[in-house]
Amino acid sequence: MRRTAILFLIIITISCTKIKTQTCIIEHNIGSINYCTVLSEDIKPYESGWYVTGYCACAKCCGIYAQNRPGGVVYGSSGRVLIPGYSCAADLPSGTIVEILYPDGSVQERRVDDTGGGVHGKHLDLYEETHDKALQVGYNNVSVRIKEAP
C-alpha cells in the first residue's frame, strides 16, 4: 500500500515537471472551455522564408577585417574562432544554435558566431572554408528553427 502511494507520488511529480516545460502557443475558447495547444519549449517550429548565403575569411567577403588576423586565426564578432561548416553570421543573439531545413529535406546545424553589415532579418550567412565553397551557398527559401537559444 505504501509502495503504491510512493509510486503515485513519483508519477505526479514527473507529470508536473513535464507540464512546466510546456508553453501555450495557441489558446482557443470554445464555449466556456479553454483549450490550449502546447508545444514543448525545446521543440521550436521551423519558420519558412529564410535565405542563406555563404562567406569565407577572404578580403572579398570580409573587407578590412581580413587584414588583421595574427596567425591566420579568424574570429567572429562573438570573440569565438570561426569554424568552417559550422559557424554562421545572423541577426540573432550570439551563441544561438539554428537548424536549417533545405528543400531536399536535409538538415544542417549552425551556431551564430558572427554578425555582418548585410545580415539582417531572416538571413543566415554561412561561414565556409574557401571562397569557392562560399559562392556555392545560395538558397532563397529555406526553413530555419532555433534549436538552442543562448
Size of the site for Zn ion (CB under 5 A): 5
CB of residue 50 to Zn ion, shortest distance in Å: 21
DSSP letter (8 states) at residue 93: -
CB of residue 95 to Zn ion, shortest distance in Å: 24
The answer to the question of residue 61 lying near Zn ion (CB under 5 A) is: yes
Characterise 63 by phi-psi region: left (phi > 0), alpha (psi -120 to 50), beta (else).
Answer: left
**Of 7, 9, 10, 58, the one binding Zn ion by CB under 5 A:** 58
**Of 52, 56, 92, 142, the one binding Zn ion by CB under 5 A:** 56
CA atoms within 13 A on the CB side of 35: 5
**What is d(CA 138, CA 103) in angstroms, rounded to the nearest whole number?**
12
The answer to the question of residue 59 lying near Zn ion (CB under 5 A) is: no
Q: Give start and end residues of each alpha helix (H) in the chain.
A: 2-20, 59-62, 131-136
Pairing, β 97-101 against β 138-148: antiparallel
**What is d(CA 16, CA 4) in angstroms, rounded to the nearest whole number?**
18
Contact track, Zn ion, 91-130, x by CB under 5 A: ----------------------------------------
126 or 144: CB nearest Zn ion: 126
Segment interacting with Zn ion (CB under 5 A) among 19-27, 36-44, 54-62, 107-115 = 54-62
Enumerate binding residues for Zn ion (CB under 5 A): 56, 58, 60-61, 131
